[in-house]
Each structure stands twice: as C-alpha cells, then as structure tokens.
Amino acid sequence: MKKAQLIVNRNFTGGEIDKRIYSSFVEHMGRVIYSGIYEPTHPTADEDGFRYDVLEKVKEMGVTGIRYPGGNFVSCYDWRDGVGPRHLRPRKLELAWRSIETNEFGTNEFMRWAGKAGIEPIFAVNLGTKGIENAVSLVEYCNIPGGTKYSDLRREHGIEQPYNIKTWCLGNEMDGDWQIGHKTAEEYGRLAQETAKAIKQVDSSIKVVSCGSSKSDMVTYPDWEAISLNYTYDYVDYIALHQYYGGQEKGTEFFLAQSLDMENYIRTVIGTCDFVKAKKRSRKDLYISFDEWGVWSMPDTEVAAQVDETPWQVAPHLSEQIYSMEDTLLFSSMLMNFLKFSDRVKIACQSLLTNISAAIMTEKNGEVWVQPIYYPFAYTSKYGRGTVLQEVFKCPVYACERFEEVPYIDSVTVHNDETKELVYFQVNRTGEFLNIFAENQEFQVETVIEHICLSSEDIKATNLHNHGLIKPDFPEDVTLKGNSFEYIIKPYSWNMIRLKLV
C-alpha cells in the first residue's frame, strides 16, 4: 500500500479564512428562482412565496452570501423592471437565455428572501446594455435612507430602511464574446473605472468588484486583468474570477487533476494584481472574488440547443446537471483551493444555488433533494473556519494530459483557535487505498472528534433516482498516536477529520 506523510506546525500559517468563500449564486436562469427558491403555489411556500423546504436546505448547507441577479442575465437587465407593484411589472424578452422574464421576482423579493436565509447579498450591476446611471440609481435605491428620487421610490414600495448592501460587482464576464455588451479590456476598464467612482460617491462604504477573466483558457487571459486593472486598480477592492470544468470524457485522472489548473489560475491573477500594484506604486492589495465556480458536465452546444429549440418560455428546464461522485471530488478540490489561497481569495460563489449546476434540486410542487456536492460544501462551511496551516506533504504522484505531477491526495488543514480544533480536508484522486500519517507539531491533541467520509464504489453514481444513495459515512478508523494520527484513505473519496486540541 502506498503511503503519504503530512506535517503541519502551529507556527507556520497561511491566510485567515473569510466566511464569504462559502457563498453561492442566484441568477434569473431556468428554474434557479422560479420553482427553485420561489414558488408561491408550493405546499411549503410562505407568505412571500418562498419555498420553506429550500430555505432550510440553504441554511443547512451553510451558505453565507449570494450573488444576484446574474450572471449573463444582468447584462440586459434594468433593475427598475423588478420593483414596485407586481401587476405593473413588464414581461420582457430575456436575451441571455432566450426566455420570458416575468419580473415577478426582483430586488425587494430577493432581499426579503436573503433576510430569511440569513445570507449577505452581493449585487451585480448591468455594464452590458446599461452603464453608470443605471448602477448609480440602483445603489441609491438600495443604500440611501431617503430624501432622494430612488430612495423615496424604495420607501413608496414599502421598504423604509435602506438595505446597505456592501459588495457590488461591475458587470459580468465582460471579456466573453457571448456576453451582451461584450467589451475589450480597454473599453471595460474605462467604464468600470467611472462606474466605481460614481457609485462610491453615492456610498463611500461599499466594496467594488471588477471583472477578471471568465475562465483560465480565455485567449485574453491574463492580458485582460493587466489592461483593465490599469484603469480600475485605484477604485476597486476585488477582481472577479470564474471557472467551470468539464472533461469527464477524458478520464478520471485528467478530470480530477484540473484543480491544479485552478491553482495556477489563482496564482497568475495574484501575480498580475501585484504587478499592477507595483506599476502604480500602490500600497493597496487587491483581493479575489471567485464569484462563479463549479463543475460543468454539459457541453456548451447542448446548452445552446436547449435555449434555441424552444425559446421564449418562462423558467424553462435548462442545463439541470446531475452530479456524480466523480464530479463531487473535483468540486471538493476546487472548494479547497479557496482555503489554500485564503490570504487573497475573500469571496467565492458556488454556481448555482438551485437546479442548474446546483447542490439543491427541486421538483415543481414536489420535493427538494440534494446532490453529492452538497455535503463537502456544508461540512467545509461549518468547520473550515479559522487559519489555514502551511503543509509539508509527501505523497505519490501521477502524470496525465497537461499535468506532469498530480498528487494522489489533495489536502488542506485548518486551525480553529476559537473551537480548539484542527480540521483536515482531503480528497483521494485515485482508485487506490493509501496510508496517511499526519504529524501535528506544536499542538497538543486531546482526541479525534470525528471522521466524515463521502465515497461510492461507483464514481459515476448520482443521487438522481435514489436521493440518499451518496451520503456521508462516519468511520471510526483514525488512530491517534500522541499528537499525530494515521488512517487509510478510501479510493475516490472526500474526507474531513476533526481533532480536539487541549
């Protein structure tokens, strides 16, 4: 049996984990909102039409923030269409997903839902078909107490107190030629610069997110960051990255190795940000908001076909991906990357919350169930809090297309001084059992609290037909040896081990 050895030391730390890395994303796309989080005719719907069964799952999942309202949707959206009396709101062609948007759900409905879900809102403004005025008026509507046109309009709509939304995204994926209002890096940089300046005039307390690259294989990456940040660096607080991975057809070894591409993506953008910082002689560090991420198991051509075959529907079934155990392992490694880079990644939004590339699935007028990706997210959100420790990790590696050295085990360790715990998150990327020995230097370990393992003999298995097929196990197989521990990690598994410290 192959062996892996891990060493962590209390005195060698990485970044402090920001709870906002456990955020998600809600867009007016398919059934994310309509029959996802909002379905007035559902048996569990509350007085606002929100599905209580979904709200409970969101809370159990540990979601801390939500980015809204898009996504590609935001680039053709006028926020004014989604406020005020519902019977006066227009039905409009939604161009991004070629559907009908009823505007039954808008800013105020989202904020009521956010309050019930206990999440922090992260708003995006339209820099595709709109611009500075539209963004300024929305910030005024949401954040000014009263006495102005749009703050008084909010009060007329029954919302006396301002929302004080603190984080604002300047458009969505503006580097992508699929985006309505797509711009060059120079065009976007100038518009984003002026929009950031203007909305911070409205509310100087807000934080602003500039668009970075939509994925690591964009032909404009990383020039997009270098060029656009020349304009925006002094006026924004974060740069947004997006990334989805498919490629299951290339085999498990390649598929699971792609989290290494994501690590390099983050390192490169950090380097680009720091280059612009040095160029500008700035003293400010720019942070990363990884505000769309996930596993994408459907070809873009299939998604396009769904949109084109039957356009102009209300909340169509679109891209409702079903995740396997294999998908869950890559998803888990992607999530672990935010812990590894917690010194610079401060926001991350899993995409999407319900029904589309989602952890939570719903049936119209029916039940709610969770995909396997739900469990690593929920447990990491609950226990992945505190300080990341630097690891010295020796384990076998394999080689595959594009990746010369892929560690069998992906690992990150967290020290929570408040709860006096060490928490280990580990993914076995291979079909082999491995013996893992972990040495905890400068810690006094009292006991093993628990080992939670998610695995399946069939890595292509899903929870589609048997909603409880893939769920966590709680093996008692971790052996404590002084301040160290040892266990046998199962093939193709996600693991969390919690140790209680003295």
Cite the active site residues. Answer: 173, 292
The answer to whether the CB of 8 falls within 8 A of the CB of 394 is no
Task: Map residue 207 onto helix, strand or coil.
Answer: strand
| Residue 397: HSE in the Cβ half-sphere, 13 Å Cα cutoff | 11
What is the rounded CA–CA span in Å between residue 58 and residue 74? 23
For the beta carbon of residue 215, count every other beta carbon within 10 angstroms. Answer: 18
Q: Which residues pair with 41 in a beta bridge?
A: none
In whole angstroms, give the CA distance from residue 75 to residue 69: 10
Closest of 22, 21, 20, 28 to residue 355, by C-alpha: 28
Which backbone phi and psi does 108 adopt, to 5 degrees?
Answer: -70, -35
Distance CA(58)–CA(120), nearest Å, equals 13
Under a CB-based contact definition with an 8 Å cutoff, are residues 209 and 238 in contact?
Answer: yes
Give me the DSSP letters along 156-205.
HTT--S-----EEEE-S-TT-TTSTT---HHHHHHHHHHHHHHHHHH-TT
If phi > 0 it is left, if psi is from -120 to 50 it is alpha, else beta; for residue 212 that is beta
Whether the ω angle into residue 212 lies within 30 degrees of 0, i.e. cis, is no
CA distance 38 to 330: 30
Element at 155 (helix H, strand E): helix 149-156
CA distances from 190 to 176, 183, 228, 241 (A): 17, 10, 8, 19
- Is 62 buried (19+), middle (13-18) or exposed (0-12) by CB count in 10 A? middle
Cα–Cα distance for residue pair 456/468, rounded to 1 Å: 12
Which residues touch 480 (CB under 8 Å, ≥6 apart)?
445, 447, 448, 499
Nearest in space to 494 (alpha carbons), one of 462, 471, 461? 471
